[in-house]
Structure formats: structure tokens, C-alpha cells
Amino acid sequence: MTHLSFVLTADGSKTLFNEKVGEHYHSRHGALQESIHVFLKSGLLFYLDKNKANKASILEVGFGTGLNFLVTADYCTKNDIPIHYTGIEAYPLDEKMITETGYNDYVSPEVWESFLKNYPAALSKPVQINPDRSLFIANSTLMNFRSEHLFDVVYFDAFAAIHQPEMWTIESLSHLCNYLKPGGIFVTYAITGELKRTMKSIGFSIEKAPGAPGKREMLRAVKS
Ligand SMILES: C[S@@+](CC[C@H](N)C(=O)[O-])C[C@H]1O[C@@H](n2cnc3c(N)ncnc32)[C@H](O)[C@@H]1O
């Protein structure tokens, strides 16, 4: 994986730079902060609070290093929230890269060790990270992804539209959002006029939420 190299972000957490795409896996203003703010707090915790729910199923595009999963699984383990987590990833990282992220610094040893023990097995079948937290990583492109399940929350963490426009088209987003339940939440770190129009046109009410450090706003959308 010579086109991938680790880079330090402003909050001290690492991200990867993909030379072929010309883009980082996370915000350079802080990978960990972005993950906590955009996906955990503005996505999952917003969903649980809004619906007075005590469990959730989460679908992420793309899974990458697993930072969003780790932050979510760690919070949910500490707060006794059962989750089913499915990631979609077309180009899975090898085990060595996963080990070298240093994300063990941000989660409990139990969650980290179970994640390492189950990666890459989670790419071929659902695994239990601990009794109430399961993980499955679909080794697929977004457009080839199929599931029998519908999800409560979508974490949309694709490369930026300028680098990978095909992920942000109405075809891709409506294919993905077919797997979201009515009332489900879609969150992503970016917000543009075009994204807002696309999400409205596929049946979402949209909301500008405060962005992670380095970004004024982000998009949260609720499926009607
Ligand atoms: C911005 S990075 C995501 C970072 C990831 N959430 C993390 O915490 O490390 C985008 C991810 O999308 C994956 N990807 C690229 N094209 C894809 C496609 N067509 N379908 C699914 N995943 C894709 C990339 O390999 C990369 O892991």
C-alpha cells in the first residue's frame, strides 16, 4: 500500500494520505475531533436522543481505518448502548496499517484488542466486538453494496466531492439511503448547495449543523 502514508493532524491523532486520490482520510484539523463531532455526537447521539432510543444500527461509507467505528463502539460500550455496525469499504487496509494508526490511545484496551483480533475477519462475516456490539465490513463498492437490513444512522465519510465526485451523485446517495429507515439520520462532514438539493430531492429534510474544527457547518439529514 505504497500510495498510503500516515500524517499527523492538529489534535495529535493520525490520518492517512492517499496519493492516488490526492486526499486525506480525515480532517487535517483533527481526525479524532472530526470523528467524535460529526459522526458520534451529530449522528448517533442525535438519533438516540431524538428517538428516545437505546440501541441503533449504523451504516458507514467508507470504513477505512475504522476510527469512526472505534470511537462509536467505545462510547457505546461505556454507556451500555447495543449497536450493529456495518462499514462499506472498497479498498480495505491491511492489518499492519490498522495496527499503526495509534487509535488504541483513544479507546479502551478491550475494544481495541477485540477490533484487532477480528480484523480482517469482519470483512467476510459479522463479528462480535463484545456481547452487544457487532461489526461487519462489506468489502464492496458503494454501488455494489446490498443488504437485507435497514439502518438507523448513516455515517457518510467518502472522500470529498472534488476528489471522488461519483460518491456524491444522486444515484450513489439514493442507493445508499435506500438502506436507511424512515426517520433515520444521515450525517456527513461537508455541506454544499448541491448536496442539500440532492438530499431534499430523495426525500430528506435537511439541517445545517455546526461543523467540526476547521469547518463552519456540516450536513445532517432526516429521512421522511
Ligand atoms: C475519507 S476516507 C474514510 C475514512 C474512514 N471513515 C476512516 O475513519 O478511516 C474514504 C474511504 O472510502 C473508501 N472508498 C473509496 N471508494 C469507495 C467506493 N466506491 N465504495 C466504498 N468505499 C470507497 C476509501 O478506500 C476510504 O477508505
Kindly report the CATH number assigned to the domain that includes residue 215: 3.40.50.150
CA–centroid distance, residue 113 to ligand 1 (Å): 23
Probe target for ligand 1 pocket from 1, 34, 35, 91, with the most ligand atoms within 8 Å of CB: 91
Question: Ligand 1: does its nearest atom lie under 6 Å from the Cβ of 68?
Answer: yes
Element (DSSP H or E) covering residue 71: helix 67-78
Probe target for ligand 1 pocket from 19, 20, 34, 61, with the most ligand atoms within 8 Å of CB: 61
Cβ neighbours for 193, distance < 8 A, ≥ 6 positions apart: none
Q: Please tell me the predicted confidence (pLDDT) of residue 1.
A: 75
Q: DSSP secondary-structure letter at 161?
A: T
Q: Please tell me the predicted confidence (pLDDT) of residue 2.
A: 84
Query: What are 28-78's pLDDT values in tens digits?
Result: 999 999 999 999 999 999 999 999 999 999 999 999 999 999 999 999 999
Establish if 124 belongs to a structural domain.
yes
Q: 19 near 31, Cβ under 8 Å?
A: no
CA–centroid distance, residue 158 to ligand 1 (Å): 5
Establish if 219 belongs to a structural domain.
yes
Dihedral class, residue 72 (left if φ above 0, else alpha if ψ from -120 to 50, else beta):
alpha
CA–centroid distance, residue 52 to ligand 1 (Å): 31
Establish if 83 belongs to a structural domain.
yes
The total of structural domains in the chain comes to: 1
Q: 198 near 170, Cβ under 8 Å?
A: yes
Question: Ligand 1: does its nearest atom lie under 6 Å from the Cβ of 103?
Answer: no
Establish if 47 belongs to a structural domain.
yes
The amino acid at 184: G
Q: DSSP secondary-structure letter at 212?
A: S
Establish if 209 belongs to a structural domain.
yes
Question: Ligand 1: does its nearest atom lie under 6 Å from the Cβ of 89?
Answer: yes
Domain that holds residue 61: 29-223
Establish if 110 belongs to a structural domain.
yes
Percent of the chain with pLDDT over 90: 99
